[in-house]
Structure 1
Amino acid sequence: MEETTPDLSGFLRNFRAVAEAAEHAVGETDGVRFATVVAEHLGGPIGDMAIVGEEVPNHRYADWDTALGLLAAADPDGREVGVSGGEMRFHHSLSDFVGAAFVRFGVGQVDYVSLPVGHDERRRAIGFGVRLFRYKGEPVGVLQRQANRRFGQEYGSVEVICADRDLATALVEEARGLATEHSVLRGQVVTFDETGYGDESGGMSFLARPEVTADQVILPADSLARIVQHVTGIAEHAALLRRHGQHLKRGLLLYGPPGTGKTHTVRHVIHRSPGHTVIVLAGTALRFVSLAAAVARHLQPAIVVLEDCDLVAEDRSFGAGPKPLLFEVLDAMDGLDADADVTFLLTTNRVETLERALVERPGRIDLAVEIPLPDPSGRRRLLELYAGDIAYSDAALADAARRTEGVTASFAKELMRRAVLEAAVAGEEPGDAHLTRALDTLMGERETTTRALLGHAGAAPLGFGGAQPGVHR
């Protein structure tokens, strides 16, 4: 059989024809070549231009859009242009847009996106487009591109093109500083989590700053003052402490049984720190502690809240490496300078678990405060707090406080809800009788498991290490 030789020259001719057809189609659709517009703005051949790029994490994209907007606003003749080409655009860089041999991109519409910049607050930003303006008197072009996981782009990007590489580098450096100075994260309460395709905030969510006042936090005398002083007091006197060579970075541990109000206390601390950037991590989100520490360093004064650290203190499956995630947390704390005005605020239900790890890495926690079960006075105050505007008698509240030794704030809150429900079912206004009936029910044998789940120290339900009525262990 006669062998056939592949017609390579014919293949190349056909490929060139297809490429020229695509180029012609783009040109026909968009009219004006993108490269021509950029070259005219820059005032010289594209081949003589330098391009400097920077990756932008998606949770910082709004910051960079703000920064570049400020730089561009200094030129009253600046403008924004888009790039045509449909989805093909997402596979090419700025150098491709201005110098592709086979596909000539045209000028298109700028892609704008709506980004979260606060709790229930959004603003428009360039998602894909180019700013053409003068920077320090010289023409520059800046391509902004938001991350797009659909096309394998985990990070956003900024690319600067101009005749002078040093000028392009200076623009990126100034934009980086402005992005931090004007960050939309500054003074906000945020959290990080895993996200899927199309997430516009890069796995970051803005949270409302809690409205928890001091009279809503029931703790032993002076405990709350010690906690707040360690966070806000150091921040208020940061300049004096620095002048005398004292460190600002601090670690605060709140420990105690479940349901005693550790998270509630944290919410009050956040309420008392309106000028602080707060990053809240809990559960598997603790894996983002290095990212949280980096954000805190840039946007100090800051608080990094790490809730329920005992859950991952010894679980090696959460960390990025072979060591428990708690040590990732401690490494992140170590990575900040001593004069960083950053508080690491940890909570735990099992302080003994953390103690073993913290002993191996001493000095990271400089204040530990117990959030204990409330005493009789504390229980009375909790009942009054959760009663709201219901006027129970002093005798009824005193009796409830006496009978509820060992309960938590969670128990008191549920008790008051049940009292109101008792009244609603009876078609009556809530009163002492409804409170007494609700308490009788909650303290009864049938509610042993419920009490345990609400944090009652004296309840040990079946399967939780104790016994139910009729069951002996």
Structure 2
Amino acid sequence: MVEFLPMKLSDLTTSEGKHVVQLAPVQRQGIDIGEDEPYPSINNGIWLIAIDDDMPAAVMLSKFLTRYGPMVQVEIGHLPNELGHAFAKRFLRTIQAQGKSYYRNKAVSFESTEFGGTQETMRVHKLPAVSRNDVVLSKATMAQLDTHIFDFVKCREELKRLGQSGRKGILLHGHPGTGKTHVVHYIAANLPEHTKVLVAGAPPQIIAGSRPGLDTRGDRHRRCRGVLIGSSAVAEPLAAGSVDLSGPPSLQK
């Protein structure tokens, strides 16, 4: 059964008639996290918890569907005191950190359906492993990739600590068949502990709005493809410049 509204803790005590919440067997949905087996995620559930063995608390998980795709709501009920507030903050931080770890060093995408533009569940992709020896580019172009991607990543945290921007973006441009997608695979495969967000088939103005880190375009009339690469669950753009794969390499700041 598809739910279009989230279930709340108050529904357990205030609902009447046909809207009364009823007990039912646990239902799970397999979520693709890029492993051999999908993660068996519970659709709706409530956990009764004792904080420090004596203070009651409750956690409710509810999945529901919106026009923008499936959503998840987590509601925490606790007594109005410091111990209860601390538990709620710690619980939310824990599940946020755990969620990030599921997609670390993986490639994911968010796709829209043709009907109404609603988004599907995030999909995990397996990108090919591409080594440096598999990339045929000039030494000057490879040096640009090293400087503006790999060397930048090594200094990224120090730059942020000094108040500098931790974001950069690289634009790969050239004629079809010059290896733009292959270079993207090489970069993605050699940035461990980074999340890759693939963007495919979107109009250029939409790509620009999403601030892509790596964008590949054959010509101005083609639809864009790209990939965001970041060190968190929500990818941050990495690098800013231009690398021409069809002629003399150029870099624009």
**TM-score scaled by length of structure 2:** 0.73
How far 1:250 moved relative to its partner?
0.4
SS in 1 for 2:96: helix
User: Judging changes above 3 Å, is the alpha-carbon distance between structure 1 residues 92 and 253 closer, same or farther for their aligned structure 2 residues?
Assistant: closer
How far 1:169 moved relative to its partner?
5.5
The letter for the 1-side match of 2:242 is: A
Q: Determine the C-alpha separation between the residues in 2 that align with 1:146 and 1:226.
A: 45
In the alignment, what sits opposite 1:265? 183
Q: Determine the C-alpha separation between the residues in 1 that align with 2:139 and 2:6.
A: 62
SS in 2 for 1:147: strand
Residue 124 of structure 1 pairs with residue 5 of structure 2: no
In structure 2, runs of 5+ residues without a counterpart are 223-237, 249-253
Q: For 1:274, which of 175, 181, 192 is the aligned residue? A: 192
Q: For 2:155, which of 237, 241, 253 is the aligned residue? A: 237
Residue 147 of structure 1 pairs with residue 21 of structure 2: no
User: Judging changes above 3 Å, is the alpha-carbon distance between structure 1 residues 234 and 88 closer, same or farther for their aligned structure 2 residues?
Assistant: closer
Q: For 1:228, which of 127, 134, 146 is the aligned residue? A: 146
Preserved contact between residue 144 and residue 157 of structure 1 (Cα < 8 Å): yes
1:50-449 matched pairs, under 5 angstroms: 93-102=8-17, 104-137=20-53, 138-148=55-65, 154-164=70-80, 170-182=86-98, 183=100, 184-195=102-113, 202-284=120-202, 312-313=203-204, 324-325=205-206, 327-329=208-210, 332=211, 344-350=213-219, 366-372=240-246
User: Judging changes above 3 Å, is the alpha-carbon distance between structure 1 residues 153 and 131 closer, same or farther for their aligned structure 2 residues?
Assistant: farther
Quote the RMSD (CA, aligned, Å): 3.6
Q: Determine the C-alpha separation between the residues in 2 that align with 1:168 and 1:126.
A: 24
**Structure that is richer in helix per residue:** 1
Preserved contact between residue 195 and residue 203 of structure 1 (Cα < 8 Å): no
Q: Determine the C-alpha separation between the residues in 1 that align with 2:70 and 2:33.
A: 20
How far 1:229 moved relative to its partner?
3.2
Q: Determine the C-alpha separation between the residues in 1 that align with 2:60 and 2:161.
A: 43
SS in 1 for 2:75: strand
The letter for the 2-side match of 1:132 is: L
User: Judging changes above 3 Å, is the alpha-carbon distance between structure 1 residues 221 and 105 closer, same or farther for their aligned structure 2 residues?
Assistant: closer
SS in 1 for 2:43: strand
Preserved contact between residue 6 and residue 62 of structure 2 (Cα < 8 Å): no
Q: Determine the C-alpha separation between the residues in 2 that align with 1:187 and 1:229.
A: 21
Cα deviation per residue 1:77-127 (whole Å; 9 max; x = unaligned)?
xxxxxxxxx889978543122233446544432222222122544122221
User: Judging changes above 3 Å, is the alpha-carbon distance between structure 1 residues 345 and 136 closer, same or farther for their aligned structure 2 residues?
Assistant: farther
Cα deviation per residue 1:334-382 (whole Å; 9 max; x = unaligned)?
xxxxxxxxxx1122223799xxxxxxxxxx97321111269xxxxxxxx
User: Judging changes above 3 Å, is the alpha-carbon distance between structure 1 residues 327 and 226 closer, same or farther for their aligned structure 2 residues?
Assistant: closer
User: Judging changes above 3 Å, is the alpha-carbon distance between structure 1 residues 367 and 236 closer, same or farther for their aligned structure 2 residues?
Assistant: same
Preserved contact between residue 256 and residue 351 of structure 1 (Cα < 8 Å): no
Q: Determine the C-alpha separation between the residues in 2 that align with 1:253 and 1:89.
A: 40
In structure 1, runs of 5+ residues without a counterpart are 1-85, 285-311, 314-323, 334-343, 354-363, 375-473
Q: Determine the C-alpha separation between the residues in 2 that align with 1:166 and 1:112.
A: 34
Larger radius of gyration: 1
SS in 2 for 1:118: coil
Preserved contact between residue 255 and residue 351 of structure 1 (Cα < 8 Å): no
The letter for the 1-side match of 2:143 is: A
% identical equivalent positions? 23
How far 1:175 moved relative to its partner?
3.4
Q: Determine the C-alpha separation between the residues in 2 that align with 1:244 and 1:88.
A: 47
User: Judging changes above 3 Å, is the alpha-carbon distance between structure 1 residues 122 and 136 closer, same or farther for their aligned structure 2 residues?
Assistant: same
SS in 2 for 1:264: helix
Q: Determine the C-alpha separation between the residues in 1 that align with 2:72 and 2:200.
A: 26
**Structure that is richer in strand per residue:** 2
User: Judging changes above 3 Å, is the alpha-carbon distance between structure 1 residues 196 and 175 closer, same or farther for their aligned structure 2 residues?
Assistant: farther
Cα deviation per residue 1:279-336 (whole Å; 9 max; x = unaligned)?
110112xxxxxxxxxxxxxxxxxxxxxxxxxxx33xxxxxxxxxx435524xx47xxx
The letter for the 2-side match of 1:192 is: F
